[in-house]
A and B are shown apart, each in its own frame.
Chain A
Amino acid sequence: MSESPEIFTSPHVLEFPYSRSTGPVIGSFLTALRDGVLIGIKGTGGKVIFPPTEYDPDTAEETSGIVNVGPGAVVTSWGWVNQPLKQHPLQHPFAWALIQPDGADTAMLHVVDAGSESAMATGMRVTAIFRPADERIGAMADLIAFVPEEAK
């Protein structure tokens, strides 16, 4: 054939053309993180659930009533990591911990940047360290770590 064949082309864009809402409760929690504030929500009997959920995990009743908690908090359990994995939030030795802010009745998973394992203890007091206001995006990454209260 002397003529080059005509090649038909059409654009095709692979996309995910929708965004997912985090809803009124998780959404409020993430928005509060952007504002540098921790919030919980009232469950059955007035118990404050943190991080907030749309239902009470024990009774399945709908929760209502956002309340500010923290930033001071208590470590309810912890494990010390000497060699952080590449996906961990901190790249120097730190503690994973369950952290129950003042005013809350349940705890959240996060990290404690305590320097050394000997600084860690169940029941120790810690406080939240946020990213600078202009870097916060309304996600868990807004919260850098918790640190021992006396160290702040």
Chain B
Amino acid sequence: MSKIPATRQGHRPVAIVGFSQNHSVRSDSTSNEVEMLLPVIHDVFDRAGLTKDEIGFICSGSTDYLIGGPFSFVTALDAIGVWPPKSESHVEMDGAWALYEAFVRLQEGDLDTALVYGFGKSSLGDLDEIFNLQLDPYTMAPLHPDLVSLAALQARAVIDQGLGTEEDFARIAARSRRDAMNNPFAQIKRDDDVATLMSEPYLVSPLRRHCLPPISDGASAIILAAGEKAFDYAEHPAWITGIDHRIETHAFGARNLAVSTSTAKAGAIAGVGEGHVDVAELLTPFAHQELIVKAALGLADSVSINPSGGPLSANPLMSGGLNRLGEAAQAILDGRATRTVAHATGGPLLQQNLVCVLEGA
């Protein structure tokens, strides 16, 4: 019998057994959401070697605000073709939280498999105006701050508190773009030197363009399997040995923006510090946020962070977090790593954070 690692929270063991993503692009003008998802869904089934008939539960993450129409997630189900009907759910959040729901659903014990997917076409609207809607409707939204300006407040806090410099931000961007050259799905792939990046003008000081994520259309999907069943679909399943998510106040003026308390809490509960970490995939779309999350998770300098290129090289909204789980799992599925960490975030300025520890047997 194959070995399943002990789970930190005493939960039923669940593993990621398949991951697929499409090539992130600035604007996928030829596909709608269903057409964007179709190849990803087919590919993830192929990778895990199963069909939709073997799936017990389906959960997706997306937001109607990007498409500008209600219940777009229902239409997206056409990418799977769920007949006969299947138990299905959706979160108006990144697909990483859809994975969390599927993980919880599999704890019931009556189902052994789940399909999770996330999708988002960021190119359809004005992201500053769309994301303004997630701010406090009385004290923040009427001022119409844009995403970059808000991030600048957090970056300044990092600098003021001595936790990072503008050069550190540039180094993170340069490393991400360079690593992305090995990722066929990434969008921004370049070998930039730090000095060149530092010569860019400020967009909103202290942020330059390289500190920002690209705008991306994209989709991804993951197959979860519980217990021994996982070995039917993968030789090296990526076992979820710890997973948790925590949220802080939306009133970000009441937080220390240079510190992520919720990430630290979720990371401690997921057991990040209980062993070595080979790879950490962090959903830190602004360069300075990598420093904040890295510190909150207590990751050593030796940990390989975002070897996929991360969100600074491709930032498909609503599937970017699921991509972090997928990339962290793929390293184990491929036998390249034995213990990896994935992080996802939602809300303004790292308001809500999910942390997952994945282990090979």
Contact = CB atoms under 8 A, between A and B. Distances in A.
A137 to B, nearest CB: 11
A80 B218 CA distance: 32
Contact of B206 (A57, A79, A100, A106): A79
A1 B311 CA distance: 68
B248 A109 contact: no
Contacts of B140: 109
Given A87-B129, A89-B143, A140-B139, A51 B251 contact: yes
Contacts of B132: 87
Contact of A77 (B153, B202, B207): B153
A139 interface: yes
Q: Report, as a range, how many residues of chain B touch the other chain.
A: 20 to 34
Contact of B251 (A97, A106, A117): A106
Given A80-B204, A89-B143, A57 B249 contact: yes
Interface in B120-167: 128-129, 132, 138-140, 142-146, 149-150, 152-157, 160
B160 A85 contact: no
A122 B160 contact: yes
Interface in A104-150: 106-111, 117, 122, 139-141
B129 A96 contact: no
Interface string A6-43: 00000000000000001000100110000000000000
B352 to A, nearest CB: 14
A53 interface: yes
B153 A79 contact: yes
A79 B149 contact: yes
Interface in B40-77: none
B202 A96 contact: no
B257 interface: yes
B144 A57 contact: no
A45 B128 CA distance: 37
Given A87-B128, A106-B253, A78 B139 contact: no
A67 interface: no
Interface string A63-82: 00000000000001111111
Contacts of B257: 77, 98
A88 interface: yes
A85 B146 CA distance: 8
B251 A53 contact: yes
Residue from B202, B204, B206, B253 having most chain A Cβ neighbours under 10 A: B253
B348 to A, nearest CB: 10
B304 interface: no
Given A78-B152, A79-B152, A87-B128, 6 more contacts: A26-B139, A51-B139, A51-B251, A76-B157, A82-B204, A140-B139
Interface of B: 128-129, 132, 138-140, 142-146, 149-150, 152-157, 160, 202, 204-207, 248-249, 251-255, 257
8 contacts: A57-B248, A58-B249, A78-B152, A79-B206, A87-B132, A110-B143, A139-B142, A140-B142
